[in-house]
Chain A
């Protein structure tokens, strides 16, 4: 199976924009949908992006997702950062089994 690699941590200031990458080790990133989950400390994960770039109802449009076949990676971009965005973010995809990235800790300072 494949792996999804994310940066361990990123940090940015409130109001700025941050992008979290998720690189697929083998197989095409475009061949299966990518999802992104947010997990705040002490809480269960919630979906912020599904099917590469779709936002569930209730998720602000500050959150966006994309894929880049040239780098075989997916990205989660959060604009207008708020302190409440501080959380762990996990990418996830499927190819004969469900695979998660290792998670990225976002610090908004």
Chain B
């Protein structure tokens, strides 16, 4: 059982480039989330989805886009990368939404924008 899988694990981008962080889960969870974590800071919610075809903005959505065409996949796209987007990105999923508090996280994608 792989759980939540994120790719790539590491990436260096130049300012203005675009890229997509991939996230897939095999637990048949309806809810999926993207967080970013800056050094010494808490996780900030970027976008979330409550099911295929439905996405919503979180706390820090600017500069990002998401889609949810299937239950399993929730890619995060960065358009026109900026140094402020240097961070560790975590994808997570849950079965019943956030009310139970148990989110299953991927191992993270470390992105550096130079």
A binds B: no
